[in-house]
Amino acid sequence: MGVQIGDSIPDVEVMVKNEDGIDTVNLSQFAAGRKVVVFVVPGAFTPTCSAKHVPSYLNHYNELRDAGIDAIACLSVNDAHVMKVWGEDQQVGDKITMMADIRGTAADALGLLVDMGPVMGARAGRAAFVLEDGIFTHVFVEAPAVYEISSAEYVLEAVKAA
């Protein structure tokens, strides 16, 4: 079962590669004391994730910040090296924290771990979450093979309406 509005973000760790090495980031600590969006994608360099999902958050970065979002993170079941290179390819700079869920632990804790067959294997389903001080205020989980309600446009409208 997935997370619900009012739940606390799971106390799990992901990896973030930066210029100094690889850091372990606790999701609950990342979200503590601020309003964040975490969007979840099946894989780095995959077609929809690269052509639509990450670009939507880059294109609406300033609007999300104006709506009170303090930080944006992209989470995927990939390794930290791949997430860093993908972030560079997408030109995220310091706008989006690229989080690697190397064993699918975070995806599983969020209720998103799915088997995507022989090519991709165990991955996270597509989703987006808004958290305030580590508490889910908005939960957007996509149906398989769909990209709509986890887009930055959809999340932004929900945040503005709240």
Question: What positions carry a catalytic annotation?
Answer: 49
Count the neighbouring beta carbons within 10 Å of the beta carbon of residue 154. Answer: 16
State the Cα–Cα distance between residues 98 and 86, nearest whole angstrom: 8
Residues 6+ apart with CB under 8 A from 103: 77
35-41 vs 71-76, strand pairing mode: parallel
Task: Give the residue from 148, 125, 59, 52 showing the smallest Cα distance to 95.
Answer: 59
Task: Give the residue from 59, 103, 95, 96 showing the smallest Cα distance to 77.
Answer: 103
State the Cα–Cα distance between residues 135 and 149, nearest whole angstrom: 19
Please give the backbone phi and psi of residue 45, each rounded to the nearest 5 degrees, phi first. Answer: 65, 10
> Is the distance from CB of 129 to CB of 138 less than 8 angstroms?
yes
